Amino acid sequence: MRARIAVNGYGTIGKRVADAVARQPDLELVGVAKTRPSFEAQTAQARGIPIFVADGANVDPFRSAGIPVAGRTSDLLNAADLVVDCAPEKIGKENAVKYKEAGKPAIFQGGEKAEVAEVSFNALANFDAARGRQRVRVVSCNTTGLARAASVLRSAYGVEEWEATMVRRAGDPAETDRGPIDGILPTFPIPSHHGADVRSIFPDLTIATAAVVVPTTLMHVHVNRVRLARPPATVAEVLDRFRATPRFHIFRAWEHVDGTPQVMEYGRDRSPSGRPDVMENVLWEQGIRLEGRDLHFFQAIHQESIVVPENIDAIRAMLGLAPDAATSIARTDEALGIPRPAK
């Protein structure tokens, strides 16, 4: 029998998590909760996803839009074994109370503070820490990207210190009210909060982060400088290690991928999950170099989708559906069409 999963919120992350749940052999999507009808509700309906209406919200707009309503959020919670909270930033904290009252384990997103949950989660980094927990927080897109890379580099080479500049997209593609149109906005303060968030996964990591916001909607780019304790002989060795790890994609020079627009074009061509998403950390073989003990590399992070497989793995860890991280990750990635790592 498959575990029954509810998704509360149906925005950028929620709709992707719902799709991803529906594709897993061991999970069943009970339904999604929304507050108002929209074209996303229309598409959800066309896919046969039951739509529940938020407890306080008005049902009439759904009715007049011809969208069948399966019940209220409280009904959705009752029917589920676990809920994935995909509400807008900071609302998850309020929702946590309801989940507790309903006695349902819950996953929160990285827009919430770490305190919302018992543990902050990344599949590669600390899968086992989420076993049997009632409240788990999947860290944000930027933190997920850093945590994956840190998992690889820490275990293989040791990390003495890490500097990362996050060049952040100003809004998602459909967020038409986000700017700037022409300009760069430093994120105050410097260093930024992202370093502390990575330490919610790796408490002893020495990391300093800084961020700027730029007028793009596609992806974030991280510029990293990592001082390694035991550097390898060549950068090729590092690349091989990334290639052998799930959820890393390394472009080769001959592929002529000059930046995030072409990374997303690759995503559109490939459409692994039926969506044009790129759920891997994306690196370039010409965008990584070892100078002494310092490893310099770029990585691109698709803010809309990178946390999606992590949410699936968190479900399995919490509900005990997989014996270990490797098994869960492999099952998730196969269902989502994310290519297997090189042997």
In the window 64-83, what residues touch a second copy (CB under 8 A)? 64-65
Cβ-based neighbours of 65, under 8 Å, separated by 6 or more: 37, 41, 42
217 binds a second copy per the rule CB under 8 A:
yes
Q: Segment near a second copy (CB under 8 A), from 27-35, 110-118, 130-138, 296-304? A: 296-304
- How many alpha carbons lie under 13 Å from residue 336 in its C-beta half-sphere? 33
Size of residue set near a second copy by CB under 8 A = 81
The least distance separating a second copy from the CB of residue 111, rounded to whole angstroms, comes to 19
244 binds a second copy per the rule CB under 8 A:
no
Which residues does the annotation mark as catalytic?
141
Q: Give 42 or 74: the residue with its C-beta nearer to a second copy.
A: 42
User: What backbone phi and psi angles, to 5 degrees, belong to 129?
Assistant: -65, -20
In the window 185-204, what residues touch a second copy (CB under 8 A)? 185-186, 188-191
In the window 136-195, what residues touch a second copy (CB under 8 A)? 163, 165, 167, 169-171, 173-186, 188-191
Query: Do the beta carbons of residue 186 and residue 234 sit within 8 Å?
Result: no
Query: Do the beta carbons of residue 153 and residue 159 sit within 8 Å?
Result: yes
In the window 256-285, what residues touch a second copy (CB under 8 A)? 256-262, 264-266, 268-271, 274-276, 284
109 binds a second copy per the rule CB under 8 A:
no
The Cβ of residue 173 has, within 10 Å, a number of other Cβ atoms equal to 12
Q: Give 158 or 179: the residue with its C-beta nearer to a second copy.
A: 179
In the window 38-57, what residues touch a second copy (CB under 8 A)? 38-40, 42-43, 46
Q: Is 225 exposed, middle or buried (0-12, 13-18, 19+ CB in 10 A)?
A: middle
| Alpha-carbon span 294 to 110, nearest angstrom | 29
| Residues 2-41 as x/- pattern, contact with a second copy by CB under 8 A | -------------x---------------------xxxx-
Cis preceding-peptide flag for 191 (omega within 30 of 0):
yes
Query: Do the beta carbons of residue 339 and residue 321 sit within 8 Å?
Result: no
Q: Give 131 or 178: the residue with its C-beta nearer to a second copy.
A: 178
Taking Cα atoms as reference points, which of 315, 305, 301 lies closest to residue 337? 305
Q: Give 99 or 297: the residue with its C-beta nearer to a second copy.
A: 297
What's the full length of the chain, in residues?
343
Q: Give 288 or 329: the residue with its C-beta nearer to a second copy.
A: 288
Helix (H) or strand (E) run with residue 164 in it: strand 159-169
